[in-house]
A and B are shown apart, each in its own frame.
Chain A
Amino acid sequence: MSLHGRDVVSIRDLSRDEILALLDSARKMVPLAEGGRTTPLLAGKIVAMAFFEPSTRTRLSFESAVQRLGGSCLTIADAGATSLRKGESLYDTIRMLSSYADAIVLRHPNEGAARLASRASDRPVVNAGDGAGQHPTQTLLDLATIRERFGTLAGLKVVLLGDLKYGRTVHSLAYALAEFGSEIILSSPESLRLPEEHRDDLKRQGAKVRDEPDLGKAVREADVLYVTRIQKERFPDESEYRSVAGSYRIDGQTLTGAKPQMIVMHPLPRAGEIAPEVDGTPHAAYFRQAFLAVPVRMALLNAILGRPRRGG
């Protein structure tokens, strides 16, 4: 089924085959994303970047993706400068935007905002993160990073480390990894364990998933060590945040005993979870992961907005 004109609100909106096709397309976009030449695949198309929450990597990589494809952007990067401040609803703002642009990329602090936007807009909406909810393009670029290094998404042992309760990236990633048949090993402070609701979903999916509170043991088993930041802004209570802040850190010592081909990933920004000394090791994959955001988002925008493929 073609992705042309479709909303992408959750990674569940994409089938396994669609994900693999996007990752193949992203691989072809890598030389374009590295610069040197542009391609006119999105020439004449306008993509609205509606960012109602601070973002650096996500917004800039989407803007880079649009411009590398020859399109142009309308950007809201400061919600305070929009009519939302005057009390305009998100629904109305998105309706208005959908008459100015060919697609909308939305980042919003409330869960479910992108689903609402997809109803308000008659143009495709791409969710660039809604509160602690979904962030499907992050999952796609995480998968692209793993597949680029290992050539597969199946049969790997992936350790998810850190805030598994509020971290939106790990919920979607765990779902996708389970779909592709990798084993998920959860390692987190007790109070930041993966919520039961997500565990139930993974079990229903038939996922291989287990807990490994001993970080050293988890690192020795891992093909991928996916580290997350403890996000202060997602905690309802500051004392809860303080009780877990700084409770894990990956450094040269932690990586002793890791498999030689093991990669360390992180959605960035990091806040002390990975020591700078790891950057120079062959394990560090997080900057490559940040770069792959551009070709992955190019592939997605091209699939949604580019010329529809014949028979697609």
Chain B
Amino acid sequence: MRELKITPIRNGTVIDHISSGLALEVLRILRLGRDATVSIALHVRSGKLGWKDIVKVENVELTARTVNAIALIAPTATISIIRDYRVREKRTVDLPAKIVGVLRCPNRNCISNQPEPLESEFEVTERRPTVLKCAFCERRVDDFLHHLA
């Protein structure tokens, strides 16, 4: 019998095939509440990636917006929606044309870093490698890990 590193969840979301070492950054993107139950497996053997991380979030089905933002730092991730221990939906992440509310603009003088009623917003200007442009001040960002909101 295979040994389970972390137990299955009854309902929720499993994010698999995260590049090893990035699980905690993925959690930052998810911005879960304090009461969320999360299991994390770090540095797990993977046929596809060599090594990978896995994140399981109980009782939360991630929105498409959040899932797609994961593509910024974990483009190889797969998302499975679990209901009653069964995989009901499985998909890969797909970088959207706009990334809203996930990153902070690196330009400290950008209006999006001021106390205004707005969410940060970036347009994807290049894919592979991904380059974003602030929808307000037009500053380019290619270093996403350092600018997570």
Contact = CB atoms under 8 A, between A and B. Distances in A.
Interface of A: 10, 89-92, 108-113, 115-116, 119, 130-134, 197
Given A10-B138, A116-B136, A133-B138, A111 B110 contact: yes
B115 interface: yes
Nearest to B107: A111
Given A115-B136, A116-B136, A110 B110 contact: yes
A133 B134 CA distance: 12
Given A89-B116, A91-B116, A110 B111 contact: yes
Instruction: Output the residue of A10, A90, A112, A134 with the most chain B CB within 10 A.
Output: A112
B135 interface: yes
Contacts of B116: 89-91, 116
Nearest to B135: A115
Contacts of A132: 109
A198 to B, nearest CB: 10
Nearest to A89: B116
20 contacts: A90-B111, A90-B114, A91-B117, A110-B109, A110-B114, A111-B107, A111-B109, A111-B138, A111-B139, A112-B110, A112-B111, A112-B138, A113-B136, A115-B111, A115-B135, A116-B111, A119-B118, A133-B138, A134-B138, A197-B140
Interface SS, A side = mixed
Interface string B99-127: 00000010101111011111000000000
Contacts of A112: 105, 110-112, 134-138
Interface SS, B side = loop
Given A112-B135, A116-B116, 9 more contacts: A89-B117, A111-B111, A111-B136, A112-B138, A113-B136, A116-B136, A119-B118, A130-B111, A133-B138
B109 A131 contact: yes
A10 B136 CA distance: 11
A91 B118 contact: yes
A2 B136 CA distance: 24
A22 to B, nearest CB: 22
Contacts of A134: 138
B106 to A, nearest CB: 11
Contacts of B112: 112, 116
A91 B107 CA distance: 19
Contacts of A130: 111, 137
Nearest to B136: A112
Instruction: Output the residue of B115, B116, B137, B139 with the most chain A CB within 10 A.
Output: B137
Contacts of A92: 117
Contacts of A119: 118
Given A89-B116, A91-B117, A113 B138 contact: no
B138 A116 contact: no
A116 B112 CA distance: 9
B100 to A, nearest CB: 13
Contacts of B118: 91, 116, 119
A253 B115 CA distance: 50
Contacts of A91: 116-118
Nearest to A171: B138
Q: 9 shortest A-B CB distances, which residue pairs?
A: A112-B136, A111-B137, A112-B137, A112-B111, A110-B111, A113-B111, A115-B136, A116-B111, A89-B116
